[in-house]
Chains A and B, each alone.
Chain A
Amino acid sequence: DGGITQSPKYLFRKEGQNVTLSCEQNLNHDAMYWYRQDPGQGLRLIYYSQIVNDFQKGDIAEGYSVSREKKESFPLTVTSAQKNPTAFYLCASSPRRDTEAFFGQGTRLTVV
C-alpha cells in the first residue's frame, strides 16, 4: 500500500529535551512538508523539501530542524529552543509543490 507514515502517533517529552518525529513515504514524491497545527487552528508550514539534500524554512522554522538524506524520509527534530512545542505535527508529500498533497496521520507531541 502506498502512503505516508508518521510515527509515533503520541509522544511525550520533558521540557528541554530534543525529540525527533519520523515521516516516511513510499509514493516516490519529490516534495515533502512538515506542518504544525494548534488546537482550533489551521496548519502552519515549518519546513519543506523539494528534493533530496535540500530543504527550505517555512513560516515557523525557529526551534526546529530537518534532514532529507533519502527521498522517502523527512524527519523533524523539535529542539529545546522551540518555546511552545506541544502541538499536532503533520507531515505531507506531493509530486510537486503545486499538486495534491498526501498527509500522514500526525504525531501529537506533548511536552511536560
Chain B
Amino acid sequence: LAKTTQPISMDSYEGQEVNITCSHNNIATNDYITWYQQFPSQGPRFIIQGYKTKVTNEVASLFIPADRKSSTLSLPRVSLSDTAVYYCLVGDLADRKLIWGLGTSLAVNP
C-alpha cells in the first residue's frame, strides 16, 4: 500500500499560485494519483487525476515526475473560496487499506 505524505497546512493569498506536494514512495505500477477537495461538512469533490507527467483541467494542474514517487497539485490564482482541505490519494477507492490521511488544510487570505 502506498502511503502518502503531504503538509498538514498551508497559507496563501488571493491571486497567488499554490503548489501542494504529496510524496508516495511506495506507489505501485498500476496506481493512479487522485486529488480531492473538501469543505467543512461536505463530501469531497474530485479535482484531478493522473498517472504520469502532467495533467491539466479547468481548475488545476497535476505534475508527476518520472519516478512517480511524488506529485504536485497546482492551483492557479487561488481565491478565498479555495480555502479547504486537499487530499492526495494513491490507489483505488475500493482498496480497504486506502489511507485518506489528514490532507492539507489550505487557508487563502485576502
A residues within 8 Å of B by Cβ?
31, 33, 40-45, 48, 50, 56-59, 88, 90-92, 94, 97-106, 108
Contact = CB atoms under 8 A, between A and B. Distances in A.
A27 to B, nearest CB: 13
A-B pairs with lowest CB-CB distance, top 9? A103-B43, A42-B100, A97-B94, A98-B92, A43-B100, A97-B92, A100-B46, A48-B94, A59-B96
Interface of A, secondary structure class, is strand
16 contacts: A31-B94, A42-B100, A42-B101, A43-B100, A45-B98, A50-B94, A56-B96, A57-B96, A58-B96, A92-B93, A97-B93, A97-B95, A102-B46, A103-B44, A106-B42, A108-B41
A94 B96 CA distance: 16
Contacts of B32: 98
Interface residues of B, number: 22
Nearest to A44: B100
Main secondary structure of the interface of B (DSSP, over half): loop
B87 interface: yes
Given A40-B102, A98-B32, A100-B49, A45 B44 contact: no
Interface of B: 32, 34, 41-46, 49, 87, 92-103
Contact of A59 (B34, B41, B97): B97
A44 B95 CA distance: 10
A43 B44 contact: yes
Contacts of A104: 43
